[in-house]
Amino acid sequence: MTEQQQASVPPKGVRRPAPGPKWMATDLYTLSHLDPPTAHNSAILKSTLANSLDQDLPAIYSSRAFAKFLALQAKAIDTKHCLEVGTLGGFASIWLASENPNLKVTTLEYNPHHVEVARENIANAGLSDRITVHVGPAMETLSAVLSDIDAGRLPKFDMVYVDADKENNWNYFDAAIKGCRKGAVVIVDNVVQGGLIASEDKPIDYPEYVAGARKVIENAGKDERVTATVIQTVGEGSHDGFLFAVVK
């Protein structure tokens, strides 16, 4: 191992190592070609992030390339109804709906300030008729949404994106599947945690995030309702990854 490589190895127990310069440069290069400022939704997404920052929301939105991946995945399976758990300022929701004109998003958020900013961003994007934000702890609002699906007031989910309190990953996954159609895709973000899921190193912070990531991976592996894999990612969002499951 060279000195430079040694210097780039993060200290033990770090869940979110600083993004390597090559990861960042690669994201910037690919985004500049595949998601240029002339893209149809570029101005809306830029102002969503700027307004969220201005109103003190934490910068924990999905990375730009990953949010577009979600929107393209929704397009690939002709998603009409997508559930998002964890809205923040609405960045991923706005990506999903702005890229897919026939898609409706149901998104769940418990922080009233995040909800207020998200609704403002969604209205500015002209998407209030297709993105519905439910306020409250997601296990409670999800239960109400599932009742609406059972009663036929809402269509089943074609796609689910879980990105909230990581300790509840499995609870959201398990509950959301009950509202999914066969062939639906369920994506759970941040399940790699800088590789700590496969390490004996103790996380220096948020050990419950690592535990929540392991729990959803281990339970999904035993769950007859789905088939799943995990894809690791690096980039502006550090070293992490997502669980990708298809409902049988």
Ligand X SMILES: C[S@@+](CC[C@H](N)C(=O)[O-])C[C@H]1O[C@@H](n2cnc3c(N)ncnc32)[C@H](O)[C@@H]1O
Q: Which residues contact 33 (CB under 8 A, 6 or more apart)?
A: none
Give me the 128-167 binding string for ligand X, x by CB under 6 A, dash otherwise: ---------xx------------------------xxx--
Of the candidates 109, 158, 223, 240, which one interacts with ligand X according to CB under 6 A?
109
Task: Please state, in angstroms and as integers, the Cα–Cα distance from residue 204 to each residue in 210, 241, 245, following that order.
Answer: 11, 19, 29
Piece in contact with ligand X (CB under 6 A), picked from 2-10, 16-24, 82-90, 149-157: 82-90
Please tell me the distance from the alpha carbon of residue 13 to that of residue 193, in angstroms, as a whole number.
10
In the bound state, the residue with its beta carbon closest to ligand X is 86
Q: Which residues contact 199 (CB under 8 A, 6 or more apart)?
A: none
What's the min distance (Å) between Cβ of 132 and ligand X?
14
Structure tokens given for 170: 């499995």
What's the min distance (Å) between Cβ of 192 and ligand X?
15
Q: Name residues contacting ligand X, limited to 218-237 (CB under 6 A).
A: none
Q: Name residues contacting ligand X, limited to 38-67 (CB under 6 A).
A: 60-62, 67
DSSP, residue by residue, 32-75: HHHS-TTSTTHHHHHHHHHHHHHTT--S-SPPHHHHHHHHHHHH
Q: How many CB atoms lie within 10 A of CB 244?
A: 18
Total number of residues binding ligand X (CB under 6 A)?
Answer: 20
Nearer to ligand X among residue 23 and residue 91 (C-beta): 91
Binding residues (CB under 6 A) for ligand X: these are 60-62, 67, 84, 86-88, 91-92, 108-111, 114, 137-138, 163-165
